[in-house]
Amino acid sequence: MPAPISAPVPPGVIGHNRSLVTRNYAVLPPDGMFPSFVPWLHQASVFYQATPKMGAGFAQGRLEAAPGGGTTAPRMDGLEHFLYVLEGTLDVAADDASASLDAGGFAYVPAGASYSLRNPGAALAKAVWISRPYVPAAGIDAPLPRFGTREDTPVTRVDDSGRWRQYLLGNLDMAMDFEMNIMGFDRGTHFHCVETHVMEHGLLMLEGQGLQLLDRDWHELWTGDFAWMGPFVPQQFYCTGWGGAAYLLYKDVNREVT
């Protein structure tokens, strides 16, 4: 006779997870994600969420650095990088520029720069980390390192529909081949149409929750969830729940497609 089960198994624990990966989009809640460790990071790991292996043209992950953790030495990998601190503090240096970033702080590291990352605090630091090859534009100088904060970035409202956005790395800056925008929705509002466009997205829910259309299906997104949208994936967002919602959005822009 098997021993009786003494404690009930919580629903959803065995064999159930909201993760979904398709040919051209993915929904990845943090549950069940595994860290990757790389030799040039110590006391730090990356929870990769989108990579070229999946079909994405960029890599995005959540960097987690323990106190004192980060790069073992200044690193130069020829890629451009974007970091956005979610929790804790991260010191970022790119060539001769550097900044200590708290939650909401961000950095752009141009391709070819030597960069280093370090958690100087006493708590775990978590940051969005995006890396990709830079696509130069003829006659336009490549961008320099940039640092900023969400707090200091203007909030733009296109109309009175309850939607707003913050362009962290500017808008229509032809030196840049991607944008990082925070898209915000007041309670009960939604994007005005189903978009279909050549640009890709990496989306991280920063606040609130909503329903996200991906291709033909609606998916619930909660704070902390990640979604990858490949080129031409039909997409729309409805803010649900009792408050507003905001997500951090990667978008490749400003280059012709051949």
Residue 240 binds which one of ligand UGY, Mn ion, none, with CB within 5 to 8 A depending on kind? none
Q: How far is the CB of 233 from ligand UGY (least distance, A)?
A: 9
Instruction: Give the closest residue to 201 by CA, choosing from 217, 224, 182.
Output: 182
The verdict on 186 binding ligand UGY (CB under 6 A) reads: no
When binding is defined by CB under 6 A, the residue of 75, 190, 219, 251 that contacts ligand UGY is 251
Residue 227 binds which one of Mn ion, ligand UGY, none, with CB within 5 to 8 A depending on kind? none
Cβ proximity to ligand UGY, 95 vs 195, nearer residue? 195
The verdict on 190 binding ligand UGY (CB under 6 A) reads: no
Write the DSSP string, the chain. Answer: -PPPP-SPPPTTSSS----EE-SSEEEE-STT---B--TTEEEEEEEEEE-GGGT-SSEEEEEEEEEEEEESS-B--S-EEEEEEEES-EEEEETTEEEEE-TTEEEEE-TT--EEEE--SSS-EEEEEEEE-----TTSPPPPPEEEESTTSPPB-SSSSSEEEEETT-SS-TT-SEEEEEEEE-TT-B-SS-B--S--EEEEEEESEEEEEETTEEEEEETT-EEEE-TT--EEEEEESSS-EEEEEEEE-SS---
Cβ proximity to Mn ion, 106 vs 247, nearer residue? 247
Cβ proximity to Mn ion, 195 vs 220, nearer residue? 195
When binding is defined by CB under 6 A, the residue of 26, 65, 183, 213 that contacts ligand UGY is 183
Q: How far is the CB of 195 from Mn ion (least distance, A)?
A: 5
The verdict on 205 binding ligand UGY (CB under 6 A) reads: no
The verdict on 201 binding ligand UGY (CB under 6 A) reads: yes
Q: How far is the CB of 197 from ligand UGY (least distance, A)?
A: 6
The verdict on 195 binding Mn ion (CB under 5 A) reads: yes
Contacts with ligand UGY by CB under 6 A lie at 183, 191, 195, 201, 235, 237, 249, 251
Contacts with Mn ion by CB under 5 A lie at 195
